[in-house]
């Protein structure tokens, strides 16, 4: 599995190297990257499926502890009855080794334009859909308060880097060598088409879920200065996003002309 053929603009080799009828397809779901829509579409194609879910209501238990427990439950469930598709808000470092001995794993993820993603996550976490929305609003009254929290910066990079000390270039190399698809939200139909071609399915994207509604709590005034500041604070995300957007852009005509073959 590798994205190297896409760098060479060889779509046939990309499908040949990454398609699999037997693999577990694991979707690394980065918040606010159209992941809910993609996850549900993929789950409707592949069965059986598993969502690594963390209960967000109990703030007394650290999130990392709850996530490790959720991953342990998934490991046990998958050992009993192997799944075809799984997903979760799980970084590659957290996932590493959870399926030791299972070589047939294909990783997928989506990236989104970094400023748009940051604003979208800020708005979403202020809605009742997010369990901790009242606490979040108290903690981060404004977007300016939120963007300066280091843990919220470069979230795409932090989900996908194999090491906290890695450079954006090292993260990109890791994704090229280990992932079967890095999609782009702004090119969602194309990215979804690539994913389904790896499954031998000819299907267009249809779902759009968890769209944040406008309200007094979610309204954001985005100035040029604020856009520049968010960009500067998320340079690692900007670099990896730009690379994979450039990678997919030349494939547009080829992807729509190529028929999917059954895997």
The torsion angles phi and psi of 64, rounded to 5 degrees, stand at -60, -40
Q: What is the mean pLDDT of the chain?
A: 83
Return all residues near 226 (Cβ < 8 A) that are at least 6 apart.
Answer: 143, 144, 147
pLDDT tens for 200-217 read: 877 777 766 566 666 656
CATH code for the domain defined by 4-113+155-210+238-257: 3.40.50
Mean pLDDT calculated for residue range 62-77: 83
Residue 100: pLDDT band with limits 50, 70, 90: low
Q: In 3-state terms, what secondary structure has residue 257?
A: helix
pLDDT for 70: 84
Q: Strand 49-52's sheet: what is its strand order?
A: 49-52, 85-88, 24-28, 105-111, 179-184
Provide CB contacts within 8 A for 40, sequence distance 6+: 207, 209
DSSP code of residue 3: S
For 95-125, letters b (16+ CB in 10 Å) and e give beebbeeeeebbbbbbbbbbbbbbbbbbbbb
Q: How do the domains of the chain map onto residue ranges?
A: 4-113+155-210+238-257
* Predicted confidence (pLDDT) per residue in 251-262, tens digit: 877 777 665 554
Q: What is the pLDDT of residue 175?
A: 95
pLDDT at position 147 over 80: yes
Q: Check: CB of residue 83 under 8 Å from CB of residue 49.
A: yes
Q: Is 188 left (phi over 0), alpha (psi -120 to 50) or beta?
A: alpha
Radius of gyration of the chain (CA): 18
| Count of C-beta atoms within a 10 Å radius of residue 42 | 22
Identity of the highest mean pLDDT range in 7-16, 36-45, 224-233: 224-233
Query: What whole-number percentage of the chain has pLDDT above 90?
Result: 31
Give residue 135's pLDDT.
72
Q: What is the average per-residue pLDDT within 221-244? A: 94
Pairing mode, if any, of strands 85-88 and 24-28?
parallel
Task: Tell me the three state secondary structure of residue 106.
Answer: strand
Strands (E), the chain: 24-28, 49-52, 85-88, 105-111, 179-184
213 against 230, higher pLDDT: 230
């Amino acid at each position: 599995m590798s994205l190297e053929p896409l760098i060479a603009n060889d779509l046939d080799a990309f499908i040949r190297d990454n398609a699999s009828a037997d693999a577990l397809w694991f979707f690394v779901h980065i918040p606010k990257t159209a992941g809910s829509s993609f996850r549900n579409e993929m789950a409707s194609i592949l069965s059986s499926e598993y969502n690594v879910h963390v209960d967000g209501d109990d703030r007394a238990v650290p999130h990392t502890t709850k996530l490790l427990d959720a991953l342990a439950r998934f490991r046990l469930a998958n050992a009993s009855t192997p799944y075809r598709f799984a997903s979760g808000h799980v970084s590659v470092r957290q996932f590493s080794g959870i399926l030791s001995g299972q070589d047939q794993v294909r990783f997928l993820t989506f990236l989104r334009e970094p400023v748009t993603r940051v604003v979208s996550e800020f708005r979403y976490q202020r809605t009742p859909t997010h369990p901790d929305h009242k606490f979040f609003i108290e903690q981060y009254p404004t977007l300016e308060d939120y963007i300066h929290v280091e843990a919220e910066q470069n979230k795409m990079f932090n989900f996908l880097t194999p090491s906290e000390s890695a450079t954006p270039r090292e993260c990109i190399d890791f994704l090229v060598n280990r992932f079967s698809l890095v999609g782009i939200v702004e090119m969602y139909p194309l990215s979804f088409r690539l994913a389904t071609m790896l499954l031998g399915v000819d299907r267009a994207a249809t779902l759009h879920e968890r769209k944040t509604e406008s309200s007094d709590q979610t309204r954001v005034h985005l100035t040029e200065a604020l856009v520049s500041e968010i960009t500067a604070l998320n340079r690692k995300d900007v670099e990896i996003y730009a690379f994979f957007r450039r990678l997919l852009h030349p494939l547009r005509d080829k992807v729509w002309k190529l028929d999917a073959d059954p895997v």
